[in-house]
Amino acid sequence: MIAALTGRLEAYLLRLLLPPLALSLGVVLIALVLERLLRLFDLVAASGSGLEPVLVMVANLVPHYLGLALPAAFFASIFSVVAKLGEDNELDAMLAAGRSIAELTRPFLGVALLLSLFALYLFGFLQPESRYRYRENLYEALHSGWNARVQENVFADAGRGFVLTADKVDGTGRQMTRVFIRRDANGVDEVTTATTGELMPTADGKLLLKLGPGRIVRDAGVDGIEDIAFDSGVANEQFDAGAPPFRVRGDSERELTITELWAAMHQPSPPQPYAELAGEFHGRLVRSLSLPLLPLLAFPLGMAAKRGRRAPGVVIACLMLLFLHHGVQLGESLAETGKVGAIPAVWTPFAMFSAVSLWLFRGSLRSPGDNPVARLVGVVETLIGGIQLRRRKPAPAGVST
């Protein structure tokens, strides 16, 4: 079917491209996820949560890391395919048979357009939803087991305005020493300290915190500060066993889908500052539209890597991809400050990247064997070779070194 639609040569190029693309995506994703997985294990283990919340959070991180890995993996796959074709002289045979560089690039551009549509869905819809679910799951994991085990020197949000911590906690998480409680009740700030405390669940699912000797300091407003000492007491009979519910999605512009961003940008009173919404909106568009440019850059760099000259091409590629990634990030930050418009701030790095990619590709069209990258690589190799030769040159006779 593929051969019937695109021709045998195009199908052959696609068969060469897809395995390294899948392998590159898998390797990069696994490396990124494992690094975050270890940190999540350390974070969640301290709260007493199990393995399941960690796996759910990691699953919600996949869209974020996929967005980071996709451009690099796609570029690396095209680069490796073209470099291999050059080393095996297959590229020369294709050009000698009448195939042009533009024709050879066409299947890669087709894949790039499909990936660009997928990236628009990924950046525009999937990432905002998964980002919110990750934060929600992290919040639930950190608060899910606090009623069974209080952590030492860690503030726990117990709901109803209660914040609780203790200097010492036994192995059960219920017996505490040097307890500190802060409560915000209808605007009244109240602080309770006690030498001991015991956390006890009740039959109706609430919690009782029995306190030993301590003090209550309360801001009584016009009446001044109340300072009450007690020998024993209960913190609150309505002490919630569960954590308060997580906030609704949309507190951050990064949690809004691209259609929600567009709608919010055109509201008379947007929920977030217009500059932040616009910077996020245009940043997602740029990241999606940059993928079709990668074949135009990877093909001439891959051709310049013929006969083992890969290192300079890889360096140039890494520098350009880093420029685009960090340039867009910088543009978003500048746009969010409101000092620079979102369109010039975010689209300028994209325009510069596009111009260089098109220039390199057009040079390859005019002279496939002598494109600008190949000439640059040749100059770099000549300089390196001259430096190495000078270092290896033996000293004149009679001169000690």
CA distance 245 to 136: 9
Question: Residue 162: beta bridge partners?
Answer: 159, 183
Q: Could you tell me how far CA 297 lies from the centroid of its own chain?
A: 24
In a domain, 220, yes or no: yes
Provide the pLDDT for residue 32: 86
Condensed to tens digits (0 to 9), the pLDDT of residues 186-200 reads 777 888 899 998 877
Higher pLDDT, 309 or 299: 299
pLDDT category at 149 given cuts 50, 70, 90 is low
Specify the higher pLDDT residue, 70 or 368.
70
Average pLDDT on 167-190 reads: 80
Residue 369 has pLDDT above 80, yes or no: no
Residue 5 predicted with pLDDT over 50: no
- Tell me, yes or no, whether 187 and 69 share the same domain: no
Quick one: pLDDT at residue 236?
A: 60
- Answer yes or no: do 217 and 311 share one domain: no
Q: What is the pLDDT of residue 137?
A: 86
Contact of 206 with 237, CB cutoff 8 Å: yes
In this predicted structure, the answer to whether residue 52 has a pLDDT above a threshold of 90 is no
One domain, residues 105 and 45: yes
166 & 125 share domain: no
Phi and psi, residue 88, nearest 5°: -90, 5
Q: Using an 8 Å Cβ cutoff, are 86 and 300 in contact?
A: no
Work out the percent of the chain whose per-residue pLDDT is above 70. 79
Q: CB of 108 within 8 A of CB of 291?
A: no
Least confident of 194-198, 224-228, 271-275, 383-387: 383-387
Which of 122-126, 305-309, 326-330, 354-358 is predicted with the least confidence, judged by mean pLDDT?
A: 305-309
pLDDT score, position 277: 94
pLDDT at 349: 96
**pLDDT value at 241 more than 60:** no
Domain termination residue (choose one: 207, 234, 261): 234
Contact residues for 31 (Cβ-Cβ < 8 A; gap 6+): none
Note whether 164 and 300 are same-domain residues: no
Q: Are residues 370 and 267 in the same domain?
A: yes
What residues contact residue 160 under an 8 Å CB cut-off, 6+ apart?
Answer: 183, 236, 238, 239, 240, 244
**What residue type is 389 in one-letter code?**
L
Whether residues 17 and 95 fall in one domain: yes
Does residue 245 form part of some domain?
no
> Does 146 fall in a domain?
no
In a domain, 398, yes or no: no
- Grade residue 243 by pLDDT with cuts at 50, 70 and 90: low
Q: What integer is the mean pLDDT of 110-118? A: 96
CA distance 290 to 353: 9
**Model confidence over 62-90: pLDDT tens digits?**
999 999 999 999 999 999 999 888 888 88
Q: What is residue 368's predicted lDDT score, i.e. its pLDDT?
A: 66
pLDDT at 3 over 50: no
Is 127 in the same domain as 259? yes
Q: Which long-range contacts (CB under 8 A, 24 or more apart) does 305-312 make?
A: 305/79, 305/82, 305/83, 305/86, 305/377, 306/83, 306/86, 306/87, 306/91, 307/86, 307/87, 308/87, 309/377, 309/381, 310/83, 312/376, 312/377, 312/380, 312/381
Whole-angstrom Cα Rg for the chain: 31
- Does the pLDDT value for residue 401 go beyond 50? no
Domain termination residue (choose one: 199, 234, 269): 234
Same domain? For 88 and 11 the reply is yes
- The length of the chain in residues reads 401
Residue 150, pLDDT > 50, answer yes
Stretch among 116-130, 235-249, 268-282, 362-376 having the lowest mean pLDDT: 235-249
Question: For residue 159, what pLDDT band results from cuts at 50, 70 and 90?
Answer: low
Q: Is residue 58 part of a domain?
A: yes
400, part of any domain: no
In a domain, 148, yes or no: no
CB 101 within 8 A of CB 40: no
- 163 beta partners: 157, 182
Whether residues 228 and 255 fall in one domain? no
Q: Look at residue 367 and tell me whether its pLDDT is greater than 80.
A: no
Which range marks the domain in which residue 207 is found? 156-234
Would you place residue 208 in the very low, low, confident or very high pLDDT band (cuts 50, 70, 90)?
confident
Tokens standing for 55? 């796996």
**CB neighbours of residue 60 within 10 Å:** 20
Averaged pLDDT score across all residues of the chain: 83
- Specify the residue for token string 């500059």: 275
Verify that 321 and 381 share a domain, yes or no.
yes
* Rounded average pLDDT over 150-164: 72
Identify the pLDDT of residue 49: 61
| pLDDT mean over 384-390 | 70
Helix (H, G, I), strand (E, B) or coil at 148: coil
Q: Are residues 257 and 119 in the same domain?
A: yes
How many structural domains does the chain have?
2
What's the rounded mean pLDDT across residues 35-63?
Answer: 79
Domain assignment present for 149: no
Give the chain's end-to-end CA distance (angstroms, integer): 70
- Residue pair 376/312 in contact by the 8 Å Cβ criterion: yes
Mean pLDDT of the region 354-369: 84
pLDDT at 185 over 80: no
